[in-house]
């Protein structure tokens, strides 16, 4: 698909993440307004509350755009999603008769503060990147062999919706219990092995009833859109606590997402197949559509006081083994009801080369191989004051579909009372 041209001039440049082909959904406020729904176009945001008030867009749910989240729009279902996107595309297209009415409703992105784009109902994190799973096995168990169940099911755990924050939110280094290999008892204090995980987040837009399983194809149609997701991880806390029940405090202190929901419709031209299966999946995980997307991803680190960030990793969402739809299907197969606003983390996205690893645990090989930043400083894990940024875009013919940066700065641990 070529670039769709808009009367918003900044949307027609190849370097903007927000061309007319994209139209991602976010929540913003200004110095003079409360948080409300907006749509990014070029270097502007379209105030959807004002658009609705002007009668240019009408939904079955009056006032849905007045709210500081997109959940009410999600709950209206895929037909409304499609008609809303078609209406916005038509009104913002080059030569649209609505230009004179819409132009005053655009606000420069430089003048707004971004907020969480959705009210996160539940958060589930998966472990669905094959290379990452093999790397973690080699690091922690001395063998890249996968657990016996890994090639048969998307492994996941239930996280904390309350810990999900929008890009730009500072994260305090967590305190917790840790045990050194040569220690008899654990100690308590700030994590010394603080890490990131490069992930995509899928947002469930339509619910499934309690007790009712769904197919992979049905799950694919339930996904409203995607965000970049950084599942911050305290490896030393996690290493002590995770057996036998999995991550807890090592993951519960913060999960950052990008500020814009890129709709599944915007990503449709970039669909990619899941990789060949090393073990045939059970029939309930079969589907008729390609479940992944070709989205170029990048991890950057910027120490406190540095002028620029260092690129640590570049990889692609199409490296995943399980798709978001397969994960959603498996999540609901036992009867778990899914909600509009549920967030599913993909799991860490890593490629086969070290330059494609999606966590510092892999890049530094658990601290045994320090890496050097462009400033000349070395790191194994994150230090206080470091800013970590995830970037992602699907690249089209003369345009890109971007998400906005997913950024967080690490602050010192809060002293325990």
Same domain, 108 and 169: no
pLDDT digits (tens, 9 = 90+) for 335-383: 999 999 999 999 999 999 999 999 999 999 999 999 999 999 999 999 9
- Looking at residue 280, its pLDDT comes to 96
Same domain, 106 and 152: no
Pair 310, 375: CB distance under 8 Å: yes
Q: Which domain range does residue 67 map to?
A: 9-115
Three state DSSP letters for the chain:
CECCCECCHHHHCCCCCCCCCCCCEEEEEECCEEEEEEEEECCEEEEHHHHHHCCCCCCCCCCHHHCCCCHHHHCCCHHHHHHHHHHHHHHHECCCCCHHHHHHHEEEHHHCEEECCCCCCCEEEECCCHHHHHHHHHHHHCCCCCCCCCCCCCCEEECCHHHEEECCCCEECCEEEECCCCCCCCEEEECCCEECCEEEEEEECCCECCCCCCCHHHHHHHEEEEEEEEECEEHHHHHHHCCCCCCCCCCCCCEEECCCEEEHHHHHHHEECCCCCCCCCCHHHCCCCCCEECCEEEEEEECCCCCCCEEEEEEEHHHCCCCHHHHHHHHHCCCCCECCCCEEECCCCCCCCHHHCCCHHHHCCCCCCCEECCCCCEECCCCCCCEEEEEEEEECECCEEECCCEEEEEECCCCCC
**What CATH number is attached to the domain comprising 96?**
2.30.30.230
Same domain, 196 and 337: yes
Q: Which of 132, 152, 172, 416 is catalytic?
A: 132
pLDDT in tens, the chain (417 residues): 899 999 999 999 999 999 999 999 999 999 999 999 999 999 999 999 999 999 999 998 778 898 999 999 999 999 999 999 999 999 999 999 999 999 999 999 999 999 999 999 999 999 999 999 999 999 999 999 999 999 999 999 999 999 999 999 999 999 999 999 899 999 999 999 999 999 999 999 999 999 999 999 999 999 999 999 999 999 999 999 998 888 999 999 999 999 999 999 999 999 999 999 999 999 999 999 999 999 999 999 999 999 999 999 999 999 999 999 999 999 999 999 999 999 999 999 999 999 999 999 999 999 999 999 999 999 999 999 999 999 999 999 999 999 999 999 999 999 987
Same domain, 268 and 393: yes
Q: Please indicate, yes or no, if residue 121 is contained in any of the structural domains.
A: no
Q: How many CB atoms lie within 10 A of CB 113?
A: 13
Same domain, 227 and 268: yes
Same domain, 162 and 230: yes
Same domain, 74 and 181: no
Same domain, 177 and 286: yes
Q: Please indicate, yes or no, if residue 3 is contained in any of the structural domains.
A: no
- Looking at residue 285, its pLDDT comes to 98
Q: Which domain-ending residue is among 84, 115, 146? A: 115
Q: Please indicate, yes or no, if residue 191 is contained in any of the structural domains.
A: yes
pLDDT digits (tens, 9 = 90+) for 264-288: 999 999 999 999 999 999 999 999 9
Q: Please indicate, yes or no, if residue 303 is contained in any of the structural domains.
A: yes
**What CATH number is attached to the domain comprising 371?**
3.90.850.10
Number of domains in the chain: 2
132 is catalytic: yes
């Amino acid at each position: 698909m070529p670039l769709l041209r808009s009367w918003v001039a900044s949307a027609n440049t190849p370097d903007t993440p927000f061309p007319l082909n994209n139209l991602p959904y976010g929540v913003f406020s200004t110095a003079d307004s409360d948080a409300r729904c907006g749509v990014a176009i070029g270097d502007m945001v379209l105030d959807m509350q004002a658009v609705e008030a002007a009668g240019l867009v009408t939904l079955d749910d009056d006032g849905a755009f007045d709210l500081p989240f997109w959940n009410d729009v999600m709950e209206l279902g895929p037909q409304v999603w499609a008609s809303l996107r078609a209406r916005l595309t038509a009104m913002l297209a080059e030569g649209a008769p609505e230009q004179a009415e819409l132009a005053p409703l655009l606000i420069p992105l430089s003048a707004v503060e971004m907020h969480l784009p959705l009210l996160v109902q539940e958060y589930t994190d998966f472990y669905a990147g094959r290379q990452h799973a093999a790397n973690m096995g080699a690091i922690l168990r001395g063998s890249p062999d996968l657990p016996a169940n890994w090639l048969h099911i998307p492994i996941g755990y239930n996280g904390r919706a309350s810990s999900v924050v929008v890009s730009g939110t500072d994260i305090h280094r967590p305190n917790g219990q840790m045990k050194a290999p040569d220690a008899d008892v654990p100690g308590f204090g700030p994590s010394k092995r603080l890490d990131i995980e490069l992930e995509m987040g899928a947002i469930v837009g339509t619910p499934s009833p309690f007790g009712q399983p769904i197919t992979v194809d049905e799950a694919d149609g339930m996904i409203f859109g995607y965000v970049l997701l950084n599942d911050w991880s305290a490896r030393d806390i996690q290493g002590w606590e995770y057996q036998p029940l999995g991550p807890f405090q090592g993951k519960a202190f913060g999960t950052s997402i990008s500020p814009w929901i890129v709709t599944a419709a915007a990503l449709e031209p970039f669909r990619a197949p899941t990789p060949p299966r090393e073990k045939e999946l059970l029939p309930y995980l079969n589907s008729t559509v390609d479940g992944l997307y070709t989205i170029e991803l990048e991890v950057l680190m910027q120490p406190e006081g540095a002028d620029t960030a260092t690129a640590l990793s570049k990889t692609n969402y199409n490296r995943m083994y399980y798709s978001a739809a397969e994960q959603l299907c498996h999540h609901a197969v036992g009867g778990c009801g899914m909600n509009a606003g549920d967030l599913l983390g993909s799991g860490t996205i890593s490629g086969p080369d070290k330059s494609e690893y999606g966590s510092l645990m892999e890049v530094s090989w658990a601290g045994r191989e320090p890496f050097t930043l462009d400033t000349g400083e070395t790191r194994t894990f994150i230090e206080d004051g470091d800013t970590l940024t995830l970037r992602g875009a699907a690249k089209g013919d003369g345009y890109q579909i971007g998400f906005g940066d997913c950024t967080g700065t690490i602050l010192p641990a809060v002293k325990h009372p």
